[in-house]
Amino acid sequence: MPYLNNAENEKSSLPVDLYHLHTPVEEYDLNCVMPLRTLESNGVRLEPFIPSLHAEHAFSLLQQEPENIIFRYLPYGPFSTLAEFLTWFETRIRSDKQSCLFLITDLSRPYDAEKPLSRVAGWIGVINISIVDLVGEVGHVTVLKRAWRTHINTHASSLLIKYLLSPRPEGLAFRRVSWLAHWQNENSNKAAERLGFRLEGNLRCVKLLRQDKEGDTIDSKNGLGRTEEGKSRNTNVWSITWKDWEEEGKSEKIEELLAREVKENPAWD
């Protein structure tokens, strides 16, 4: 007998009204199961990403980046139009209640009232959130090239880790925070280690990637794995648990990273 199955594949673009480019901040629904607020250190500020405030500027920054630098190890991007970027954000972030995204502002730079977004250094998110299981994953880490090898990634990641694992009411008292890195992405794996994550293992063939992405080529002689669909990504799984945080000194390590001297980045000039 035939079975009813009306599931649709993800659409490449959405109706313009779903981009929320003109939705007032007070009417915009972040739609996340996790409580969201602005987080700040002496080096960065993280604030929830809101299309009407941030999307156009964020997309313009991506257009200025060297080709394929930002998205080399990510399963998506680069985005050729603002509509593509907004579609990705709406379908992968806002419509997924287990995900959220934060804009990263570099506080080492002087504020310019005429260009309030001139200090944006990238964005970072929390994905695969479960309020039931008290877990989350630091993801969608996107730091502009001019902010590499500065305090930006360390401070932004540390603020999220601290918020997720710290006891209430300062934090959410999660039991586990994950960091999943492309097995070839040396910078991401080194960052995880520097932040105090523990390597748990490697997941093989866990994501399908386009042919233009970094990954393993499927070379089955029998047509297994559907070679024509693209490459495979193997993923290193890193984690920090509540026990690491409370008993293994991980909370102190994060505080030390956040306390380090922040220097103004000359690459912005």
- The 10s digit of each residue's pLDDT in 148-200 is 999 999 999 999 999 999 999 999 999 999 999 999 999 999 999 999 999 99
Look up the CATH number of the domain holding residue 226: 3.40.630.30
Residue 12 pLDDT > 80: no
Position 56 in a domain: yes
Query: CA-to-CA distance for 221 and 227, rounded, in angstroms?
Result: 10
Position 108 in a domain: yes
The model's confidence at residue 7, banded by pLDDT at 50, 70 and 90, is confident
Position 66 in a domain: yes
More confident residue, 256 or 114: 256
* Contact predicate 137/200, CB 8 Å: no
Tokens for 19?
């981009």
Which strands form 231-241's sheet, in the order they lie side by side?
39-40, 44-48, 100-106, 120-130, 135-143, 176-182, 231-241, 198-209
Position 268 in a domain: no
Which 8-state DSSP code applies to residue 25? G
| Candidate from 1-15, 166-180, 192-206, 243-257 with smallest mean pLDDT | 1-15
Position 78 in a domain: yes
Question: Measured at the alpha carbon of residue 84, what is the angle toward residues 227 and 32, in degrees to the nearest 5?
Answer: 100
The closest of 126, 132, 112, 111 to 37, measured between CA atoms, is 126
Domain total for the chain? 1
Position 193 in a domain: yes
Query: CA-to-CA distance for 164 and 133, rounded, in angstroms?
Result: 13
Measured from the Cβ of residue 172, the count of other Cβ atoms closer than 10 Å reads: 19
Helix (H) or strand (E) holding 198: strand 198-209
Give the range of the structural domain holding residue 113, as residue numbers without chain letter: 16-260
Q: What is the pLDDT, as a whole number, of residue 18?
A: 77
Query: CA-to-CA distance for 86 and 69, rounded, in angstroms?
Result: 20
8: alpha, beta or left? (left if phi > 0; alpha if psi -120 to 50)? beta
Position 219 in a domain: yes
Mean pLDDT of the chain: 93
**pLDDT, tens digit, for every residue of 117-128?**
889 999 999 999
Report the number of secondary-structure helices (H) and strands (E) in the chain.
6, 8
**pLDDT, tens digit, for every residue of 65-76?**
887 789 999 999
Position 266 in a domain: no
User: CB under 8 Å to 223, separation ≥6 — which residues?
Assistant: none
